Amino acid sequence: MSERQLALWDLKSFEEPIALQEMDTSNGVLLPFYDPDSSIVYLCGKGDSSIRYFEITDEPPYVHYLSTYSSKEPQRGMGFMPKRGLDVSKCEIARFFKLHERKCEPIAMTVPRKSDLFQDDLYPDTPGPEPALEADEWLSGKDAEPILVSLRDGYVPVKNRELKVVRKNVLDNRPPLGPRRSQSSCDANFSRLTLEELLEEIRALRQAVQAQEKRISELEHKLGQFTNGTD
């Protein structure tokens, strides 16, 4: 059987899981990633094209389905960014690195918030890069809580963008001030010749229109005679 399941166990008793949820049937291995700060477990199946995530609570039924991220291409592998590497300014709570055949695609999980302030409920103190114990100390039987760091220092407030309206002034394109160029005799002759040519074209057009009107009137008269049978 290739049935995949999500099971939650009690560390004090491994006889039976306290919660068991059937996922699907597939040969791909499920890769679980758990975020203790938000109590969310992400399930990324090798060969799948989706990421399903669930919330873990202390009360029955313990496992609560949240949502599914879907894409078109299957994942060959998946990596998980440590919490201190997230962009807290965009309310990013998780970031995966999806391995394709020829590339690595970052996938960001964000929580939509309208406020631009630092979200304390999304980012409690999280384990930092400093180890609480050395390897020799842990092998000797010592135990210690992880050294937590705040993510508030990674918060960069969004700057308010001012809306600027730029109005063009027609006076900005005016010609530079200076002595006016006097009209030369060449320009005057050119203007006089152009005006005379236009007037001559207007006269010719008027004569052509009058000739056409006279010819149309004659044709209408002949057509009337032909219709009345007088011709």
Q: Hey, where are the domains in the chain?
A: 3-137, 193-231
Angle at 211 between CA 205 and CA 213, to 5 degrees: 105
8-state DSSP, 13: B
- Give 25-32 contacts, CB < 8 A, sequence gap 24+: 25/1, 26/2, 27/2, 28/4, 30/4, 30/6, 31/77, 31/78
Give me the pLDDT at residue 185, please.
Answer: 54
Q: What is the mean pLDDT of the chain?
A: 84
> Comparing 22-26, 66-70, 188-192, which segment has the lowest mean pLDDT?
188-192
Q: What single-letter amino acid sits at 214?
A: K
Between CA 57 and CA 101, with CA 2 as vertex, the angle to 5 degrees is 90
Residue 188, pLDDT score: 56
The 10s digit of each residue's pLDDT in 44-81 is 988 999 999 999 999 999 999 999 999 999 999 999 99
Counting DSSP H helices and E strands in the chain, the numbers are: 2, 11
Least confident of 147-156, 169-178, 190-199: 169-178
Answer yes or no: is pLDDT of 24 > 70: yes
Work out the pLDDT band at 154, boundaries 50, 70, 90: confident
**pTM of the predicted model over 0.95:** no
* Cα–Cα distance for residue pair 105/92, rounded to 1 Å: 16
Let me know if domain 3-137 sits in CATH 3.30.465.10: no
Question: What is the C-alpha radius of gyration for the chain, rounded to an integer number of angstroms?
Answer: 42
Rounded percentage of the chain residues whose pLDDT exceeds 90? 46
Asked whether 4 and 27 are in contact (CB, 8 A), the reply is no
Per-residue pLDDT at 190 exceeds 90: no
Model pLDDT, residue 18: 92
Which residues does 144 contact at the CB level (< 8 Å), separation at least 6?
A: 132, 133
CA 204/CA 76 separation, integer angstroms = 85
pLDDT above 70 coverage of the chain, percent:
81
**Residues 144-167: what's their mean pLDDT?**
72
